Structure 1
Amino acid sequence: MILLLAVALSGPTEAPAQEPDQAGSPVPSYTADIQPIFNKRCIACHGCLGSPCNVKLTSFRGVERGGFGQNPYSSHFLASPRTGMDVVQTTAEWRARGFYPVLSRGGSKIENQYLSLLYQMVENGTRHNSPGFSRQALMPLYTKRYAHQCPATPDALRAQLKQNPAAGMPFGLPALDNKDFKTLQAWVRGGSPGPTEAELRAAETPNNPAAVLAWETFFNAEDKRSQLVARYIFDHLFLATIVLEESPRDYFRLVRSKTPPAATPAAAPAPVAVIDTPLPYTNPYKYAGVDRVYYRLKKLTTAMLQKNHFVWRLNHGDIEHLKALFLEPDWGDNAKLDAPWDIGNPFLVYQAIPVEARYRFLLENSELIVSGITYGPVCLGQTATYAVKDQFWVYFVDPKYDVSVLDPKLGLDTWNTFMDRSLLGNDSYEAAYGQALKKLQPKGYTIDAIWNGDRKNPNAWLTVLRHESNVSVMKGRQGGIPRTQWLMDYSGFERIYYDTVANFEYWSGDIPKLETLVFFNYLRQEFEDNFLLLLPEGDRQAIRDDWTQGIGQAALALEPFAGADQPTQIETSKHDPILSLVGDIQEHMGEAVSGPVDLLNPHIKPKVSLSDPIKSYDDWVKAASLLTQTHAYKFPRYLPSVILLKLTDGDDDARVYSLIANRVYATQDTLLFQDGQELPHLYTMSIYPTVIGGFPNYFLEMDLKQAGDFLRRLRDVQSLADWNRLRDRYGILRNDERFWPTYDWFTAWNFANRGIKAGYLDLSYYDLFDSVY
């Protein structure tokens, strides 16, 4: 013990001697003291599947589980273990899977501190990450981040930190302030206790159990049609965050459980026992070894992370709507209600449910479903996002005109063709789809073939943005007219969802992930082609070739253009057919769907000058709009993906804008496109009057008096060095003493202004080094 104490105070960590704990002082509360520190300073990087070293700090269960040595983002041929928090339930089971502890308890205070990996990392940060630390010292660690190996023992970690002092936590960001550090230290020294049973019960209890029971009763109805509908909804929304209007301040997730709901509103429900199957369609009965499975709403007790937080907002009236949508239509006398499990083909499994009901469910919740496609449960998308273009709009074929609704099987002999991800399988599907178009839409589409949400549902028009390794989805027409656009039909919607979500194994090796990426490319091309069918036949191929260039032309030649020779009933301007078509779509949708006029990203610019003084937010909007959605300037090629701007007018009035870079590539059909397929002369910037994305690259701060200077300097950027000078003038670098106060301000604004849609921002890509972009 004496030797251990001596090493702890003067050994390899070179830690300064700590003040002794005050006699009799209580150990800090995990719920009241420790989790709030993790929320505001740690979960920005340690909050999801695949966080660094697989350390997940959103709950005590995650902290207790600890870390895992395999780098989740390294290239690996074989599958790795699943790491979802509900895969197993006990710490012993996680240890058996290879997770190691990051806490130490059961010894003296100094032993608990000395042997805690978590404490070592944070303490190292307090010594090396004071504001003003070297950003350049982080570069060697950042460039090798995918090869990083996580040490599993205190001695191994001490050796690594001695070799790389900049690797303390929070990584590459200012250290915890002294108060938070002392609180964390006292908790570690006190044995790192978790929440009390009373605190856990209080956190897990819904504010309105009756509202929860009403939905659980709906999902667990006894008749086979209702059971199949519940399966269908679960398959498509198992990643969504559910908010019940009748149970305010609560968040839920739809799960399958071994335990039933409460028998009556007055009865206490059994605790949810999650059956965490590998895939949503895996047979839960066989997987869990049970005779009955129940759908439950599991209350979420962890902080929301914006990068994987998308909300299904419900009220009690939606129960009746879903019953009417799914159960009132005629299912036919020969509907196969005993659908098979373990098959990732919704066309086969759910063929008993009327196809229009399935499609309308997807349409009414399109932002949610597409968010599942683009967000997912993992931290970073990496190469999975390579097939996604940086900015595009999405529309949907109206069910009355959709050939995959009118003839669900498209004349094919088997449902298997729909989910055949091979080149031949996709060709067969496209050939069948083209024949169905020729048969069922011989005159081509009218503008009414685009679903307009009855001119009131904004899910009819989506804006999708890619920010390098992550993606954002929003309702309505936003960001200015994009370079490419999609028109999705029912069968394509299901195919892309099952390819990228329901069938996606985040734990798999590289080959299955590559197959997902390739199939996504097929589907993206299909939806772009569907949109081109709205244009005159003579314009289509030229636009198609313009949207995919260079070496992508070879891939494009292999991808059939279903319906390429279809006529269209939409008349467009010969001068600019796409602009003309967008105008028709806007009129068809109406402002309730499209959203208000986008003054920040107009096609026709206002008659103002950047030399004019900016005295109001209206002046700012007009001036800033001169730099959006234009190829006239070089600055977009030097912008990072996401910039959050705090713009103030006096001490009490501040607004947030997101400056988003829209990059363009010759093709998305190669994993290496970022290394040689850039078309920087086509890059643009869009500005949004809110927080966009979950991964900001920079925070900027200025007042209206400075806004004109900023815009003029931005306009004049000719090189990366020019941009860096402008960034340094108005930006908050990661080593700035203002960093955490600024982050806290944006966090507070986000939750105050975006409400249930807000979550904590991720800092994995904040202030990326100049050599990276």
Structure 2
Amino acid sequence: MRMFRPCMYFVSLFFLLPACQINNTLFSSIAPAPTPIALPAPAENPVSYAEEIRPILEKKCVTCHSCYDAPCQLNLEGAEGLLRGAFRESIYGGARTEAMQPTRLGFDEQTISGWRERGFYSVLHAENKQSEALISSMISLAKQFPFPANSKLPDSIELGISRKNQCASSEKFTDYAHEYPLSGMPFAVTGLSDQEYSLLAGWVKQGAVIPDEPVILTSDEKKVIEEWEMFFNQNENRNKLVARWLFEHLFVASLYFPELEGAPRFFEILRSSTPSGTDIEPIVTVNPNDDPMGPFFYRLRPITGSIVHKRRIPYPLHQEKQQRINALFFNKPWPMGNLPGYSYTERANPFVTFVDIPAYARYQFMLDDAEYFVRTFIHGPVCRGQIATDVIRDHFWTLFQDPESDLFVTNTAYQREAIPLLAMPGQNDNLLKMGKNWLHYLKRHNDYQALRQNQYVSQQPQGASLAHIWDGAGKNKNALLTIFRHHNSASVVGGLVGDIPQTLWLMDYPLLERTYYELVVNFDVFGNVAHQLLTRLYFDVIRNGSEHNFMRLMPAGQREAILHDWYQDLGKLKFGIVYERIDDESPSAEIFTTENPKQELAHRILARFQSVNTMPSDPLNRCQNSNCSRPDEPQWVQSADAALSNLAARPAAGLSGIKQLPEVTFIRVTNEKNERTVYSLLRDRAHSNVAFILGEELRYQPEKDQLTIYPGITGSYPNFIFDVPVAQIGEFVTLLGNAEKMEHFEYIVETWGIRRTHPQFWEILHDFTAWQSERQPLIAGIFDINRYENF
């Protein structure tokens, strides 16, 4: 114990600081409930779950009740979650000392009785004769006390993902209704219509029958599934090793078969104790690289239920992909030892596990679909990304090192020396050993950074150049990505979007693979505080490594000064103590002629990689002339572009309205023909540094905040929506830009805002999904409103 305290002090001092100021939240007293209104009569005609109830749940319930962050774990994406019911324990209990038992639908229990034994309780059936089904009581409470149209909600209603969910049962509902009369369902939003209420109440009264609806696969689907399962389950050891690597990299994907006709159906890959052609019996492990404890087969299972935006990560399986896998992994012979196991070392270090597979094949496979892999750890799949997001900037560009210039790929001797240093923490979640565990892995990481630096100085004496950056062979647009952080969520889009950011990442194979394993394969959303803290701390040094890689392109003698701008104030303390010291002496192969080398290099990147940049000009955010609009769009859209571009890439010091905006604002612009276009207005919060877990508000630099105008949709969790006629877009932009005070912003909200209580709230929210479905059907889905603001 005497040894533990200094280690924990070290962790708190250099990773948790500054945490000295934590404000207490004061809750307003609950106002008396108004007189309840009469309820519509429950439907008496037979009500169909599939045709009448499922659409209501998708429209007005799934927006909050989906994925792991569904309140009270009431997941309404499909029938299984509705039948399972609710649970009082939150998955996101980051401070828990013990890992919780996983509660994954489709895996951890196969029967409703099994979930009842776990503590889940029904929302469809009353617990006793004196009570009603919870879902009936909840929708009745909301229907009796509706909010005035487009009104601001009372302060007594707590919103946001940090709100304490009460998770009342039907037996305790009377007490809940007395204490929280304005907290029926749908929660704090425009409620059910009379018809929707009548159908839902009638269905529950009729017994809440959910008929079995087995997934019927077409003959073409059965054929292609059989082909892919045969491909994944070949018997030769090389095939088994590659199949394991592929499984660990695709297990979170929404797989689809683009060669089949019609709307795509999505599938997941899992391990089953049963072979192809038989019913799937999942091998249940916490992580995909845990020991299956027996023989298994890779199987493809249909993903059922509603499609929600926040967990849709599509990945295509087609003949071209199979040919690409064969070309990368099997065209050239490579020596193969014994198949690896599932020991601590093999789970903590994938470079040990898959050392026999050529590094080029692994890296190039990931580069081919880099946006997918970055989306897995930036976008999801745990649906609340605080572990990943509080270590990154609000806006940055990501580039990748060319495999031919990656020494880990090309230099076998260096690779052998580096592999033991690339193990990642998080497997051991012992609280008492957390500090010692972290220092062990930190030393390995810094030893690797020093080794890497020496190798690159030796092997590339002229320094790094843009020729060392992967250009997607001139056609693959996965080469350039932009990442946006939205506080506790994030999104990734193709191309270099927005103004030139403060920081840029350059990822090589060890960085990309470690990020994927640390945040996806080895991350356990049900883990305890030690596991989650170690994961967060290691991702911090991964980010720093990506920045160091980019710094090799900067001129010698200026790198340290640039990094100090990225790590201001207390962030500087971590250099020399936590982060490996930057190499500020070896040359860069790039020649600079201005006093702002980062800006100069960014413009050079934009020019050099135009062919693989999905937004090579981005006129809304990087306008170079008076016509700040997309030339291929209709004239009315161009006028909206030009108006909104006046908000982009300007610091808050000269655009006061920024400080009133949340992280993600959706804007719908319509013309007189009821045609519409949409934008995402992204607030990029400036920080003095992102080197610490707590005290983020102490590191804000609000006068430096900027807005990025994204023409389309990015982000799964809109914080607010504006609906603006194109004839009024100029006035909207002017007023928003000058909204110095909250009352100025409230006028904008009253005029164009779509509050939670707006009569057309649901129609307009789901129109954004419809708009994306028309243009990007593979990633379109229902948006989450748990973060929707109360302006």
Q: TM-score, normalised by structure 2?
A: 0.88
Farther off after superposition, 737-746 or 182-191: 737-746
Q: 1:35, 1:58 within 8 Å by CA — same for their partners in 2? A: no
Report the residue type matching 2:250 in the other structure. L
Residues 84-118 of structure 1 deviation map (CA, whole Å, 9 limit, x = unaligned): 111121111112222111121799xxx69x43112
Of structures 1 and 2, the one with the larger relative CO (CA 8 A, separation 6+) is: 2
User: Do structure 1's residue 102 and structure 2's residue 105 form an aligned pair?
Assistant: no
Residues 319-347 of structure 1 deviation map (CA, whole Å, 9 limit, x = unaligned): 11111111113313x54444545623210
Looking at structure 1, the residues matched to 658 and 363 of structure 2 have their Cα atoms a distance apart, in angstroms, of 38
Farther off after superposition, 716-725 or 226-235: 716-725
Matches within 5 A, 1:250-329: 250-261=265-276, 269-284=277-292, 286=293, 290-291=294-295, 293-329=296-332
User: Do structure 1's residue 225 and structure 2's residue 223 form an aligned pair?
Assistant: no
- Matched with 1:39 is 58
Going from structure 1 to structure 2, the CA distance change for 1:419 and 1:719 (only over 3 Å counts) comes to: farther
Report the residue type matching 1:282 in the other structure. D
Q: 1:526, 1:561 within 8 Å by CA — same for their partners in 2? A: no
- Matched with 1:553 is 572
Q: 2:418, 2:451 within 8 Å by CA — same for their partners in 1? A: no
Report the residue type matching 2:191 in the other structure. A
- Matched with 1:7 is none
Match of 2:139 among 122, 126, 147: 122
- Matched with 2:423 is 419
Match of 1:376 among 375, 380, 388: 380
Farther off after superposition, 137-146 or 727-736: 137-146
Q: 1:70, 1:149 within 8 Å by CA — same for their partners in 2? A: no
Q: CA deviation at 1:694?
A: 0.5
Q: Which runs of 5+ in 2 are unaligned?
A: 1-34, 426-437
Q: CA deviation at 1:62?
A: 0.5
Looking at structure 2, the residues matched to 608 and 515 of structure 1 have their Cα atoms a distance apart, in angstroms, of 45
Going from structure 1 to structure 2, the CA distance change for 1:566 and 1:674 (only over 3 Å counts) comes to: same
Matches within 5 A, 1:387-402: 387-402=391-406
Matches within 5 A, 1:361-760: 361-382=365-386, 384-407=388-411, 410=414, 415-421=419-425, 422=438, 423-558=442-577, 559-561=579-581, 563-602=583-622, 604=624, 606=626, 616-631=636-651, 632-760=654-782
- Matched with 2:204 is 188
Looking at structure 2, the residues matched to 572 and 60 of structure 1 have their Cα atoms a distance apart, in angstroms, of 61
Going from structure 1 to structure 2, the CA distance change for 1:675 and 1:17 (only over 3 Å counts) comes to: closer
Q: CA deviation at 1:677?
A: 0.5
User: Do structure 1's residue 212 and structure 2's residue 220 form an aligned pair?
Assistant: no
% identity of equivalent residues: 29
Q: 1:637, 1:663 within 8 Å by CA — same for their partners in 2? A: no
Q: TM-score, normalised by structure 1?
A: 0.90
Residues 592-634 of structure 1 deviation map (CA, whole Å, 9 limit, x = unaligned): 334342111115352789xxxx973223322322321122322
Residues 400-440 of structure 1 deviation map (CA, whole Å, 9 limit, x = unaligned): 11122123674775744212443222211211211221222
Q: CA deviation at 1:728?
A: 2.4
Going from structure 1 to structure 2, the CA distance change for 1:60 and 1:183 (only over 3 Å counts) comes to: same
Going from structure 1 to structure 2, the CA distance change for 1:451 and 1:21 (only over 3 Å counts) comes to: closer
Going from structure 1 to structure 2, the CA distance change for 1:73 and 1:20 (only over 3 Å counts) comes to: closer
Farther off after superposition, 426-435 or 415-424: 415-424
Looking at structure 1, the residues matched to 536 and 417 of structure 2 have their Cα atoms a distance apart, in angstroms, of 27
- Matched with 1:132 is 149
Going from structure 1 to structure 2, the CA distance change for 1:399 and 1:426 (only over 3 Å counts) comes to: same
Looking at structure 1, the residues matched to 76 and 342 of structure 2 have their Cα atoms a distance apart, in angstroms, of 38
Looking at structure 2, the residues matched to 757 and 607 of structure 1 have their Cα atoms a distance apart, in angstroms, of 31
Q: CA deviation at 1:21?
A: 5.4
Looking at structure 2, the residues matched to 605 and 633 of structure 1 have their Cα atoms a distance apart, in angstroms, of 20
- The alignment of Structure 1 onto Structure 2 pairs a total of residues equal to 729
Report the residue type matching 2:108 in the other structure. V
Looking at structure 2, the residues matched to 123 and 353 of structure 1 have their Cα atoms a distance apart, in angstroms, of 59
- Matched with 2:182 is 166
Q: CA deviation at 1:454?
A: 0.4
Q: CA deviation at 1:449?
A: 0.2
- Matched with 2:22 is none
Q: CA deviation at 1:488?
A: 0.3
Q: 1:453, 1:589 within 8 Å by CA — same for their partners in 2? A: no
Looking at structure 2, the residues matched to 733 and 105 of structure 1 have their Cα atoms a distance apart, in angstroms, of 34
Q: 1:205, 1:299 within 8 Å by CA — same for their partners in 2? A: no
Looking at structure 1, the residues matched to 581 and 475 of structure 2 have their Cα atoms a distance apart, in angstroms, of 32
Look up the SS of the partner of 2:256 in the other structure: strand
Q: Which runs of 5+ in 1 are unaligned?
A: 1-12, 262-268
Farther off after superposition, 396-405 or 630-639: 630-639
Report the residue type matching 1:119 in the other structure. S
Looking at structure 1, the residues matched to 161 and 398 of structure 2 have their Cα atoms a distance apart, in angstroms, of 37
Q: CA deviation at 1:140?
A: 4.5
Going from structure 1 to structure 2, the CA distance change for 1:58 and 1:338 (only over 3 Å counts) comes to: same
Look up the SS of the partner of 2:348 in the other structure: coil
Looking at structure 1, the residues matched to 310 and 411 of structure 2 have their Cα atoms a distance apart, in angstroms, of 38
Report the residue type matching 2:97 in the other structure. F
Residues 688-722 of structure 1 deviation map (CA, whole Å, 9 limit, x = unaligned): 11111101111111112101101111221223332
Looking at structure 2, the residues matched to 215 and 676 of structure 1 have their Cα atoms a distance apart, in angstroms, of 52
- Matched with 1:200 is 214
Going from structure 1 to structure 2, the CA distance change for 1:603 and 1:326 (only over 3 Å counts) comes to: same
Report the residue type matching 2:588 in the other structure. T
Going from structure 1 to structure 2, the CA distance change for 1:320 and 1:143 (only over 3 Å counts) comes to: closer
Residues 563-613 of structure 1 deviation map (CA, whole Å, 9 limit, x = unaligned): 44331111123232122212322333233334342111115352789xxxx
- Matched with 1:352 is 356
Q: 1:615, 1:704 within 8 Å by CA — same for their partners in 2? A: no
Q: 2:424, 2:518 within 8 Å by CA — same for their partners in 1? A: no
Q: 1:53, 1:70 within 8 Å by CA — same for their partners in 2? A: yes
Report the residue type matching 1:200 in the other structure. P
Report the residue type matching 1:622 in the other structure. A
Report the residue type matching 1:379 in the other structure. C
Match of 2:250 among 213, 237, 252: 237
Q: 1:412, 1:432 within 8 Å by CA — same for their partners in 2? A: no
Going from structure 1 to structure 2, the CA distance change for 1:434 and 1:603 (only over 3 Å counts) comes to: farther
Q: CA deviation at 1:77?
A: 2.4
